[in-house]
Structure 1
Amino acid sequence: MIRKFKEVHGHYIEKIIGQDRLAYAMSDTEDLYDLIEFAERGRYQGSVIIFYDFENGNVYRPFEKKRDVIYSKPAFVDRYYYFLQADYTLREVVH
């Protein structure tokens, strides 16, 4: 059976390893290591992390795009989803 997501953003989605419910997509292909270089060269445009629910087709975008903020790939461990949010302007990484 083919299920459709309620929103399509044109991003490549990847299943989060260790579970079968959610997939994720990033708005660009940069990673945490690239953030420092981009920010030092004139600020990073920012990225967005989007979650796709295979069971109900819902699409979740927990944060709006913000300059100098980037996200890590999510992980599923002990029934919880984890990912990092790095903010170069505030000089902090949160999970």
Structure 2
Amino acid sequence: MAEKRTEEFKREAVRIALTSGLPRRQVAADLGVGLSTLNKWIKAHGDAGTVPQKEAELVKEIERLRRELRLVTEERETLKNDPGPAPACAEQQQRW
């Protein structure tokens, strides 16, 4: 039979899912519950004010910074792998 979870556990699971920035699938696996179960809890408890406004703002800022970091990392990798123009001394060596 399925394990019964306390309301406190469910509220904490919803808070983690909404504020951690982790994929819900990972949060569900970490907590030992199914993804559909976690989604049901979020639907039931998510509107109950479980995430204070300040935390919600921080979550948005973290998500923005992660996107920015991902973009900068991709740009760095592109530049790192691009040999760029040949130096002037290399052009003269080719003429000899």
- Normalised by the length of structure 2, the TM-score is 0.19
The structure number with the bigger radius of gyration is: 2
- Normalised by the length of structure 1, the TM-score is 0.19
The structure with the greater share of residues assigned to strand is 1
The structure with the greater share of residues assigned to helix is 2
